[in-house]
A = this chain, B = another copy of it.
Amino acid sequence: MSGGYTPGMSEKGAAAQHAAGPSVTGRALAVLDSFDQTHRRQSLAAISRRTGLPLTTVHRLVHELERHGALARGADGDYEIGSKIWRLGTLASVHVELREVALPYMEDVYQLANDAVQIAVLDGLRILVVDRIAGSRSIEVLSKPGSRLPLHATGVGKVLLAFGGQELQDAVLGSLDRYTDSTITDAPTLKAQLLTIRSQGFAVTREELAPGATSVAVPLRGKGGTVIAALGVVSSSDNAEISRMVPVLQVTAAALSKKLAQSGLGEASRLR
């Protein structure tokens, strides 16, 4: 009432669990954000637990979101992301323009490589897999569209890192998680590799993220020559010929880059 209400910067020390801020919008997005690759369908209570929001609040929000098609309720009562969100996501231009333009070229690569072909952009300190093509029996890869994978242990990631800003490299080189025996966790080693990648124009990984998977990748450039994405092939490790794909990727990348520049891509991919 009449009394207090100090603007902001008061708490912070206390709970401060979910940095959602007190706004309704923030809370609604926190609810949506509680869904991820391993929590695609959640019960009300689960959402409440994961967001730290009181059950009643979640209940209200979730129902409102459902009414608008942002969430959908599965047959078992669990909730999942609704088609409205999917449709909207379809409009995210970096990804969609990229995807629209790139898919046909990825097809071409796929025909030659017969291994999983993927394309990714930078998203914070990880790669965001924008799209991927894989035959009915390509090796089981971790990357699905929407996956966020580490920069230093994937082919596309190394490319984006090598051509990324100093600021980005510093942040990533600061902490290199290990995924397999072959993961490069030594900053100087990686740094040297990045230089090579820059000069030779492609990157290679050998079982650095998952055992049995090898990949090569090349950069994609937009307007003005800025690297805005990376194109790569992931194959099973026993395929010694994977480096054979480099020229194919490079030719494709050249053609694709021209197209991308035309369709106006070229900003994007900033480190948030």
Contacts and interface: CB of A to CB of B under 8 A. Distances in A.
A41 interface: yes
A100 B131 CA distance: 11
Q: How many copies does the complex hold?
A: 2
Given A90-B89, A91-B146, A146-B87, A25 B24 contact: yes
A81 B86 CA distance: 11
A146 B29 contact: no
A70 interface: yes
B133 A35 contact: no
A50 interface: no
A144 interface: yes
A170 interface: no
A57 to B, nearest CB: 11
Contacts of A91: 35-37, 40, 80-81, 146
A146 B92 CA distance: 11
Contact of A146 (B41, B90, B148): B90
A186 interface: no
A42 to B, nearest CB: 11
25 contacts: A25-B65, A28-B28, A29-B68, A29-B70, A33-B88, A35-B91, A40-B91, A72-B94, A74-B267, A75-B267, A81-B89, A81-B91, A81-B92, A83-B123, A85-B92, A86-B89, A86-B96, A87-B89, A96-B145, A100-B144, A103-B133, A104-B134, A105-B136, A107-B133, A108-B136
